[in-house]
């Protein structure tokens, strides 16, 4: 009788397992992000809106909505969403096209948002597309099975998100989000397929194309335009210090002036109208200035812990579909965080991309939290003894 009760108790524990360590990391990043958004934006918000907490309030509302959505998704069996994979793909395409409609909203010379009538809030279709692409590719991997290991299957999987990525780039002029969508696909195929030779060839091809573009931009007049200017500014920011290289130089000044321990929370000088988009794409530079190298490394460590925890969940997922969902979320967060930090430190050319959970952006934080909800849903179906 006692043995039966213990077995029943173990079964109940496995059914109701919840990954509190993952939740704690996410909540820490959210809370830290709100603090840094207020610190980085208070001066600009007061100058523009007469309210120093303007950006903080909007981000807090988005965070609460995202947390509610996360809790709902975490308590829904993740296989429920499998039937909506194709619909999500099509809906994301329609939303991207709607950017061209009267609902489209332009900000900072970019038309990337859709207004939600009657709410005063906007939604960014690219963020919807990232979530829908993770779901679509996870279902596709399961349906293709072993055929994904063939060259035909590999090419199909890599090209499946290309229409959405192309629309994001061509319609919304959002290169970074297009890269993330393609990066998610490559990572998911990489995990699902044991043949690494294809990926070595693909990586060499991408590096060769990038090197050729940089050569053509720097050595000839064959390629011009806005993005070529950004590449030139990346190679030598001081050559265009008042235009393309201005934001990069100000970010580097902020990073350099922070030193080891930083100037102190709220003591940044660059946020006083010197650094454009201090609360958005460049918030990592404000972290470096106010909290120093110590603060920057601490945040990077938190992202590493977040990814490590999700890797454990993926490795112990009950089935391939659950594992692929988690791998897709890992790819999204890891790629976006790496690209943001690389842009801020001028490791790669400047392209608008936010730091997950920390940068200002309602659409981004809501859909990132929904993705975390999917990860928690997968984790809840893992037997406790497997962890």
Tokens 């335009």 map to which residue? 225
Closest of 52, 51, 63, 48 to residue 359, by C-alpha: 63
**Looking at residue 216, what is its pLDDT?**
72
For the chain, first and last CA: distance in Å?
27
Distances (CA, A) of 264 to 31, 42, 109, 269, 290: 18, 15, 33, 11, 5
CA 359 to chain centre: 10
Strand runs (DSSP E) across 320-365, as ranges?
A: none
CA 275 to chain centre: 22
Distance CA 247, CA 233 (A): 10
Q: Which two tokens stand for residue 309?
A: 């925890």
Distances (CA, A) of 368 to 41, 138, 152, 372: 22, 17, 32, 6
**Looking at residue 51, what is its pLDDT?**
87
Running DSSP on this structure, what letter comes out for residue 149? G
Distance CA 317, CA 326 (A): 9
Q: What SS3 class is residue 105?
A: strand
Where b means 16+ CB within 10 Å and e means fewer, 285-322 reads bbbbbbbbeebbeebeebbeebbebbebbbebbeeebb
Distance CA 150, CA 203 (A): 18
Q: Which two tokens stand for residue 93?
A: 């395409």
Angle subtended by helix axes 175-192 and 320-344, to nearest 10:
140
Q: What SS3 class is residue 198?
A: helix
**Looking at residue 91, what is its pLDDT?**
93
- Given a contact cutoff of 8 angstroms between Cβ atoms, the answer to whether 310 and 23 are in contact is no
* Total Cβ atoms within 10 A of residue 267: 13
Residues in the chain predicted with pLDDT less than 50, given as ranges, are 1-2, 11-14, 386-387
Distances (CA, A) of 222 to 216, 226, 233: 7, 14, 18
**Looking at residue 227, what is its pLDDT?**
58
Tokens 């970019």 map to which residue? 110
H or E element: which one contains 3? helix 2-15
Closest of 95, 125, 99 to residue 111, by C-alpha: 99
Strand runs (DSSP E) across 135-237, as ranges?
A: none
CB-based burial label for 5 (10 Å; 0-12, 13-18, 19+): exposed
Sign of torsion, CA 278 106 131 364?
positive
Distance CA 299, CA 105 (A): 32
Specify the pairing of strand 121-123 against strand 104-107: unpaired
**Looking at residue 1, what is its pLDDT?**
47
H or E element: which one contains 290? helix 283-315
**Looking at residue 316, what is its pLDDT?**
87
Closest of 17, 30, 22 to residue 366, by C-alpha: 30
Q: In what order do the strands lie in the sheet with 121-123?
A: 104-107, 110-116, 121-123
Q: What SS3 class is residue 237?
A: helix
**Looking at residue 229, what is its pLDDT?**
67
Model confidence pTM above 0.85: yes
């Amino acid at each position: 009788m006692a043995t039966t009760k213990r077995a029943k108790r173990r079964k109940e524990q496995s059914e109701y397992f919840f990954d509190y360590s993952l939740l704690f990391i996410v909540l820490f990043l959210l809370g830290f992000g709100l603090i840094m958004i207020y610190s980085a934006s208070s001066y600009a918000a007061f100058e523009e809106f007469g309210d120093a907490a303007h950006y903080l309030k909007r981000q807090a509302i988005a965070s609460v909505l995202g947390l509610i959505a996360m809790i709902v998704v975490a308590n829904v069996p993740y296989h429920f969403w499998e039937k909506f994979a194709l619909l999500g793909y099509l809906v994301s395409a329609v939303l991207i096209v709607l950017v061209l409609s009267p609902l489209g909203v332009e900000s900072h010379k970019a038309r990337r948002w859709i207004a939600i009538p009657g709410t005063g809030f906007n939604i960014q279709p690219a963020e919807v597309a990232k979530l829908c692409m993770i779901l679509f590719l996870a279902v596709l991997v399961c349906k293709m099975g072993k055929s994904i290991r063939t060259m035909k299957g590999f090419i199909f999987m890599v090209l499946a998100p290309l229409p959405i990525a192309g629309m994001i780039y061509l319609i919304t002029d959002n290169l970074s989000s297009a890269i993330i969508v393609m990066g998610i696909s490559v990572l998911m195929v990489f995990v699902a397929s044991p043949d690494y030779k294809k990926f070595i060839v693909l990586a060499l091809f991408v590096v060769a194309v990038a090197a050729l573009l940089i050569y053509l931009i720097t050595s000839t007049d064959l390629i011009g335009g806005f993005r070529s200017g950004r590449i030139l500014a990346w190679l030598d920011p001081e050559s265009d210090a008042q235009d393309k290289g201005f934001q990069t130089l100000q970010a580097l000044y902020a990073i350099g002036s922070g030193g080891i321990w930083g100037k102190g929370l709220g003591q940044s000088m660059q946020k006083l109208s010197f650094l454009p988009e201090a609360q958005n794409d460049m918030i990592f530079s404000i972290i470096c200035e106010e909290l120093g190298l110590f603060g920057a490394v601490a945040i990077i460590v938190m992202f590493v812990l977040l990814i490590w925890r999700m890797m454990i969940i993926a490795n112990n997922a009950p089935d391939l579909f659950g594992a692929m969902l988690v791998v897709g979320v890992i790819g999204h967060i890891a790629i976006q965080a790496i690209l943001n930090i690389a842009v801020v430190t001028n490791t790669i050319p400047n392209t608008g991309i936010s730091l997950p959970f920390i940068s200002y952006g309602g659409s981004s934080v809501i859909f990132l939290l929904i993705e975390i909800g999917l990860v928690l849903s997968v984790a809840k179906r893992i037997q406790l003894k497997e962890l």
